[in-house]
Structure 1
């Protein structure tokens, strides 16, 4: 019986064996590592003590790695079901409807932000709605606890340590509301859901009170989102992209920000807008990029560099597409995409990861084995399909996985 209990104990993760010891290491880390660094950035002892009082490790956060242990993908993540791209757009109609109301209520602030930055108000509204439901979403976590936990033991510990130090500077400067600083599970703050370093760098005063309050001021939230995008390279006067029809003569493997062509060249190759309208004259001689988030199994787009500025806000093709699409629905009354999403069937992220490994063995760059089919994975599928005489779809399905995940 004793040997069985010992075997079970040894099988537990390291943090389950002695959480109290790890907690003590965490408290020492806060005092011996974080406090000196915070002090060097101008944080007072009073601010530091108030911020970390009662803070303990949050063991429920994702991607935790016990100090000294190797990072492992949790079983629940390996076995998670892959979400088809269509699911990502389930809230688009609501965000657009509320966004139209917000466009009227905050027309002055949106116009002023666009005048200063060149970022259209509809794009600001798309981000605001996605990030915090226009400030209505509940922000549940203690930001210092989240950032400290992930700074102490996560797969991106150095990044979150820097964000923790930035959060302490925010508290020192009195930029946040009184009380506990609240955040998402990733440590994002306020209505724009800025990481703390972005609050310090990009938060802006939109209402003229000489404060940048992204928690309670809608005007400051609008100004801050526009300021962020402008500083990340938003090109005034250009759109984010256009839904298109891609003929079979144009390979879906041409997708990606490193395979751009003049928009006029895409048009000459047979790529056309779903609306039937020509591409705008001011766009024709500028670069555009093919973007097919579900390969041949869904809508296709020619996007501009502004699309990739949206990805700087959240590194997801679907996020950037969602924001642009909501903005178009708000401003132009557009409906759903013309292209239809096809369900790839029930796939697990572990299936896609094994497929990615198979593609890597064949020499393809899939952008990392993560169980998520980003553009590098999608076009690698297409290149493999073309090379093996298959009809290129540039998206995983059961047949593709069975052929590659061996």
Structure 2
């Protein structure tokens, strides 16, 4: 839905006309400068109109508001992200794919250091190993979001990149399908990532992330390698955090050798020791639901997974499914609490209140990231409460700015 309350009352036909002018006056010169032909440009936008049903739209000339709701699952209750069906489906099909594509996975790991199980975790999450239908018109999505969304400059750049993808012959412009966010192919790359990371995994001279499983595997590995995957290190470990270790120690800017976390009393929840080579490496406390859910010591590779998708829960899902595929691991041992039901607008209001008190929450965007979680914990500790490090509805009135 559009962010501005009165936006839908405007004349849609007039806005559509402005969109066509924007395509010709703004997009075409930029695309032409990048080597896109007029033929490709015309084909890309043949019959394309604005999609008024996409999320996070804002009419040109109006101000965006924090949405009350958010369509993406990771902004809801964490437990829903790890539903029985999602976990079991990604694991069972992933094991089939591990056997079917063993050679391609081994080759990708040898070339990049990225484990096959991690590649499978991403592939499964992004497109169900290529089985999920991707139905949106990429140029409709990217054109709409480039013209009138809360992140218009970003999507405008991706629209130009999509035109370059079509010009380069990856896929015909009128056949280019995407997610509602503009992501392409089985790895669900944004167009700029197709240009930079799409790889030829089957040796046919093409990088086909739409139809080739081997190319999809090689491309995901190439992406993670480029973003700094550390060969030989894991992504992280579920742990038990003693009550005297504050949840406010969470975050990638508060890392320390895993041996030091161990010395503070943090233990793997399985009872097994941390691998010796991991004990000497840096680790970070992660508590995505604060004291209301599982806790983890994660490695720098966890944050490489977040470069693929900025959600903590996404990176956890990928690592966890990979472990289930490769090692037969079961569910996280700690349960997710009944949290995550607040509106984004409520959390944004709390964030503004914390900012007024001098806390760095990472921006009042309504998303409870690690900076918001630990700011809540620090506020709780400063007011004599037990730190839980997660937003709760009863905090709203106290934190309202």
TM-score range, shorter chain: over 0.9
Q: Do structure 1's residue 26 and structure 2's residue 38 form an aligned pair? A: no
Paired residue for 1:182? 177
Q: Could you list the per-position Cα deviations for residues 84-128 of structure 1 after superposition, in whole angstroms to 9, with x for gaps in the alignment?
A: 211111111210111111100110100000000000000000000
Aligned with 1:39 (options 28, 32, 39)? 32
Larger radius of gyration: 1
Q: Do structure 1's residue 259 and structure 2's residue 257 form an aligned pair? A: no
- What SS does the corresponding residue of 1:357 show, helix, strand or coil? helix
Paired residue for 1:367? 362
Q: Would you say the 8 A contact 1:15–1:22 is kept in 2?
A: no
Whole-angstrom CA distance in 2 between matches of 1:12 and 1:402? 25
Q: Would you say the 8 A contact 2:201–2:217 is kept in 1?
A: yes
Q: What TM-score results when the alignment is normalised by the length of structure 1?
A: 0.94
Whole-angstrom CA distance in 2 between matches of 1:318 and 1:75? 20
Whole-angstrom CA distance in 2 between matches of 1:336 and 1:206? 32
Q: Do structure 1's residue 16 and structure 2's residue 9 form an aligned pair? A: yes
- What SS does the corresponding residue of 1:174 show, helix, strand or coil? coil
Whole-angstrom CA distance in 2 between matches of 1:235 and 1:366? 29
Q: Would you say the 8 A contact 1:99–1:330 is kept in 2?
A: yes
Q: Would you say the 8 A contact 2:74–2:313 is kept in 1?
A: no
Deviates more, 1:388-397 or 1:106-115: 388-397
Alignment of 1:53-92 (within 5 A): 53-74=46-67, 83-90=76-83, 91-92=86-87
Deviates more, 1:143-152 or 1:355-364: 355-364
Paired residue for 2:334? 339
Q: Would you say the 8 A contact 2:41–2:163 is kept in 1?
A: yes
Shift of 1:178: 7.3
Alignment of 1:204-283 (within 5 A): 204-283=199-278
Paired residue for 1:151? 146
Deviates more, 1:55-64 or 1:82-91: 82-91
Paired residue for 1:350? 345
Q: Would you say the 8 A contact 1:359–1:380 is kept in 2?
A: yes
Q: Would you say the 8 A contact 1:238–1:304 is kept in 2?
A: yes
Q: 1:360 to 1:128 in 2, by over 3 A?
A: same
Whole-angstrom CA distance in 1 between matches of 2:366 and 2:317? 21
Paired residue for 1:378? 373
Q: Could you list the per-position Cα deviations for residues 227-248 of structure 1 after superposition, in whole angstroms to 9, with x for gaps in the alignment?
A: 0000000000000000001111
Paired residue for 1:300? 295
Q: Could you list the per-position Cα deviations for residues 55-81 of structure 1 after superposition, in whole angstroms to 9, with x for gaps in the alignment?
A: 111111112122222223345559x99
Whole-angstrom CA distance in 2 between matches of 1:33 and 1:354? 36
Q: 1:70 to 1:345 in 2, by over 3 A?
A: closer
Q: Could you list the per-position Cα deviations for residues 183-238 of structure 1 after superposition, in whole angstroms to 9, with x for gaps in the alignment?
A: 00110000000000000000000000010000000000000000000000000000
Paired residue for 1:132? 127
- What SS does the corresponding residue of 2:296 show, helix, strand or coil? strand
Whole-angstrom CA distance in 2 between matches of 1:154 and 1:128? 28
Whole-angstrom CA distance in 1 between matches of 2:10 and 2:377? 46
Aligned-residue CA RMSD (Å): 1.9
Deviates more, 1:157-166 or 1:14-23: 14-23
Q: Do structure 1's residue 203 and structure 2's residue 201 form an aligned pair? A: no
Shift of 1:13: 2.1
Deviates more, 1:319-328 or 1:147-156: 147-156
Deviates more, 1:31-40 or 1:314-323: 31-40
Paired residue for 2:160? 165
**Could you list the runs of 5+ residues in structure 1 that have no partner in the other structure?**
1-10
Q: 1:45 to 1:177 in 2, by over 3 A?
A: closer
Deviates more, 1:226-235 or 1:175-184: 175-184
Whole-angstrom CA distance in 2 between matches of 1:82 and 1:119? 28
Q: Could you list the per-position Cα deviations for residues 284-339 of structure 1 after superposition, in whole angstroms to 9, with x for gaps in the alignment?
A: 11110000001111100000000000000001111001100000000000000011
